[in-house]
Amino acid sequence: MELTIKLTPDLADSLIEYSRRQGTTPELLVLEALRKLFAPPATAAPADNQYRTLADFLDGYVGVVDSGELVPGGARMSEECGEKFAAGMVEKRERGKL
């Protein structure tokens, strides 16, 4: 199906300029934007060596470490992290490293 849409001159000029800066054509830019808004997400599995997300690419290489395996009782790195960060910044400032 082919559909023709008439744009106002100001919108057409903006579209042409933006697509030029993006290194594409106005038609491809509009098609991509419309797909993002209206097309259902693809459900097909990615082809070999193609990944839909960074998480897909890193699957099998990224995980969670139980800090109890490294530090007796666990490192508890998520506890009071804001306070620890602030204290570290104050320490850096006092040493003239900030």
In a domain, 76, yes or no: no
Closest CA to 74 of 85, 83, 82, 66: 66
Q: What is the 8-class DSSP label of residue 49?
A: T
Place of tokens 């023709």: 4
| Other beta carbons within 10 Å of 26 | 17
Using the structure block, give the residue that is written with the tokens 């990944």: 51
In a domain, 1, yes or no: no
Report phi then psi at 80, rounded to 5: 55, 40
Euclidean distance between the first and the last CA atom of the chain, given in angstroms as a whole number: 61
Specify whether the CB–CB gap between 22 and 29 falls below 8 A. Answer: yes
Domain limits for position 40: 9-58
pTM for this prediction: 0.41
Residue 58, pLDDT score: 84
* Number of compact structural domains in the chain: 1
> Could you give the CA distance from residue 94 to residue 55 in angstroms, rounded to a whole number?
40
pLDDT tens string for the chain (98 positions)?
888 999 999 999 999 999 999 999 999 999 989 988 888 776 655 566 677 788 888 888 887 777 777 778 877 777 888 898 899 999 999 998 87
Q: Give a yes or no: residue 91 inside a domain.
A: no
Domain assignment present for 28: yes
Look at residue 49 and tell me if it is in a domain: yes
